[in-house]
């Protein structure tokens, strides 16, 4: 049996003897009635628990005390068998006498000592219960937070979908408001003078060779793109035509004529589209150059689809990458 187990057993024996010494269980026979009555102050269960707790606590203290004792007294158990047999037994005897005298000479009764020793355990149990409640509350809060997060994620997905729909509608409305507009690129600054509407009303038919009544076109507005003037840069000109049919005639004349020049400068006439659509179409510039080198005619369809005829079949691409891959495979 281990040394510390012997100590624990010894301490338990001392406490039990002390309990009977203090008369925790006194059974007296009532002479008058002949019945057996009990004058027990504390129940046996509580005493057994107290004895076990007290023995455990004292065994720990005994272990620490023995370690300190052996260190201070410089016991070396492995040197001789004589020391290994005598020293533990002498120490246990002295330790038993010390524990017995300490308990007997104490001012407190044994139950009070047991209650005093049980108080730390009760406090620990209360703390554990309090921490358990706090953990449960925290878990409930986390669960509620996760539920709210899930709800918010669903609402966010719905809002993103609605935002996309509204953005597409706004983009479509903007381009519809520009459906009667054309954009002229490359014309030098100041060429139109102070009356751009009157200038372009006659300039467009003359440059494109269009037949019109009185030699003019009806134009509602004409102006340069917003922004300050810059050196070596000609701001685009935006023209709003009064009739959509005039726009169709102008674009058809541009495709038929090919290159347009005015005062030695190349002029480009395009549809006036929103910034996003123009940027999407600009991504096809590289593909358009390859089609021009091959001699293939192409056109851009609204909003940004490149269409051309290849081997008698019409091909349309919404992505520049797909168009380049097709041309590379069929090079």
Show the 3-state SS of the chain.
Answer: CCHHHHHHHHHHHHHHHHHHHCCCCCEEECCCCCCEEECCCCCHHHHHHHHHHHHHHHHHHHHHHHHHHHHHHCCCCCCCHHHHHHHHHHHHHHHHHHHHHHHHCCCCCHHHHHHHHHHHHHHHHHHHHHHHHHHHHHHHHHHHHHHHHHHHHHHHHHHHHHHHHHHHHHHHHHHHHCCCEEEEECCCCCCCCCCHHHHHHHHHHHHHCCCCHHHCCCEEEEEECCCCCECCECCCEEEEECCHHHHHHHHHHHHHHCCEEECCEEEEEEECCCHHHHHHHHCCHHHHHHHHHHCCCEEEECCCEEEEEECCEEEEECCHHHHHHHHHHCC
16-32 pLDDT, tens digit per residue, is: 555 544 444 443 334 34
Residue 60 — φ and ψ, nearest 5°? -65, -45
Report whether pLDDT(46) > 80.
Answer: no
Query: Domain limits at 21?
Result: 3-106
- pLDDT per position as a tens digit, 194-236: 999 999 999 999 999 898 888 889 999 999 998 888 888 899 9
What average pLDDT does this structure show over 166-177? Answer: 92
- Answer for the pair 8, 59: CB distance below 8 angstroms, yes or no: yes
What are the tokens at 180? 């009667």
Beta bridge partners of 240: 181, 221
Of 100-104, 119-123, 287-291, the range with the lowest mean pLDDT is 100-104
pTM over 0.85: no
Domain-located, residue 49: yes
Cβ partners under 8 Å of residue 218, min gap 6: 201, 241, 242, 243, 246
Tokens of 126: 């209360």
Q: Which of 106, 126, 147 is the last residue of a domain?
A: 106
Q: How confident is the model at residue 98 (pLDDT cuts 50, 70, 90)?
A: low
69-84 average pLDDT score: 43
- Assess contact for 217 and 241: CB atoms under 8 A: yes
Give the contacts of 281 (CB within 8 A, at least 6 positions apart).
273, 300, 304
Residue 58 lies in a domain: yes
pLDDT attached to residue 38: 43
The answer as to whether 125 is a domain residue is no
> At 181, is the pLDDT very low, low, confident or very high (cuts 50, 70, 90)?
very high
Give the pLDDT score at 268: 93
Domain end: 45, 77, 106, which one? 106
Q: Are residues 189 and 249 in the same domain?
A: yes
In a domain, 325, yes or no: yes
Instruction: Please say whether the beta carbons of 114 and 50 come within 8 A.
Output: yes
Question: What CATH number did the domain enclosing 207 receive?
Answer: 3.30.70.1820
On average, the pLDDT of the chain sits at 75
Closest CA to 182 of 274, 254, 270: 270
Total domains present in the chain:
3
268 and 188 in a common domain: yes
> Residues 17, 81: one domain?
yes
With respect to residue 224, please indicate whether it lies within any of the assigned structural domains: yes
β-bridge pairing 237-241 and 219-224: antiparallel
Please say if the pLDDT value at position 40 is more than 60. Answer: no
- Per-residue pLDDT band for 10 (boundaries 50, 70, 90) equals low
Share of the chain above pLDDT 90, in %: 40
Residues 100 and 18 in one domain: yes
The answer to whether position 160 is within a domain reads no
Q: Which of 251, 272, 293 is the last residue of a domain?
A: 272
Q: What is the CATH number of the domain that holds 329?
A: 3.30.250.20
**For the residues 90-111, what does the mean pLDDT come to?**
51
Q: Which residues of 266-297 are buried (b: 16+ CB within 10 A; e: fewer)?
A: ebebbbbbbeebeebbeebeebbeebeeeeee
Both 287 and 260 in one domain: the answer is: no
pLDDT in the model for residue 101: 53
Q: What is the pLDDT of residues 293-331, one digit of tens each?
A: 888 888 888 888 999 988 888 999 999 999 999 988 886
Contacts of 314 (CB under 8 A, 6+ apart): 307, 308
Q: Which of 9, 8, 12 is nearest to 60 (CA)?
A: 8
Give the whole-number percent of the chain exceeding pLDDT 70. Answer: 63
Token pair for 49: 């628990």
């Amino acid at each position: 049996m281990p040394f510390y187990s012997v100590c624990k057993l010894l301490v338990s024996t001392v406490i039990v003897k002390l309990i009977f010494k203090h008369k925790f269980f006194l059974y007296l026979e009532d002479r008058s009635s002949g019945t057996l009555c009990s004058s027990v102050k504390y129940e046996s269960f509580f005493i057994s628990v107290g004895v076990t707790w007290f023995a455990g606590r004292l065994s720990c203290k005994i272990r620490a005390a023995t370690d300190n004792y052996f260190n201070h007294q410089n016991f070396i158990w492995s040197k001789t068998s004589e020391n290994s047999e005598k020293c533990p037994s002498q120490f246990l005897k002295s330790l038993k006498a010390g524990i017995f005298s300490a308990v007997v000479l104490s001012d407190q009764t044994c139950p009070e000592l047991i209650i005093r020793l049980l108080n730390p355990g009760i406090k620990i149990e209360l703390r554990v219960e309090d921490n358990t409640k706090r953990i449960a509350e925290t878990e409930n809060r986390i669960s509620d937070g996760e539920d709210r997060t899930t709800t918010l994620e669903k609402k966010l997905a719905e809002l993103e979908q609605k935002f996309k729909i509204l953005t597409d509608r706004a983009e479509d409305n903007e381009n519809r408001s520009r459906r009667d507009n054309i954009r002229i690129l490359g014309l030098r600054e100041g060429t139109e003078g102070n009356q751009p509407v009157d200038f372009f009303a006659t300039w467009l038919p003359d440059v494109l060779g269009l037949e019109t009544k009185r030699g003019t076109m009806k134009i509602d507005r004409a102006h340069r793109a917003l922004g300050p003037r810059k050196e070596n840069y000609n701001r685009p000109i935006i023209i709003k035509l009064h009739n959509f049919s005039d726009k169709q005639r102008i674009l058809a004349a541009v495709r038929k004529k090919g290159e347009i020049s005015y005062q030695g400068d190349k002029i480009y006439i395009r549809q006036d589209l929103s910034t996003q659509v123009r940027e999407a179409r600009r991504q096809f510039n590289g593909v358009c150059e390859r089609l021009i080198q091959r001699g293939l005619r192409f056109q851009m369809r609204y909003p940004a689809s490149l269409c051309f005829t290849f081997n008698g079949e019409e091909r349309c691409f919404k992505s520049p990458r797909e168009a380049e891959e097709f041309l590379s495979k069929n090079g």
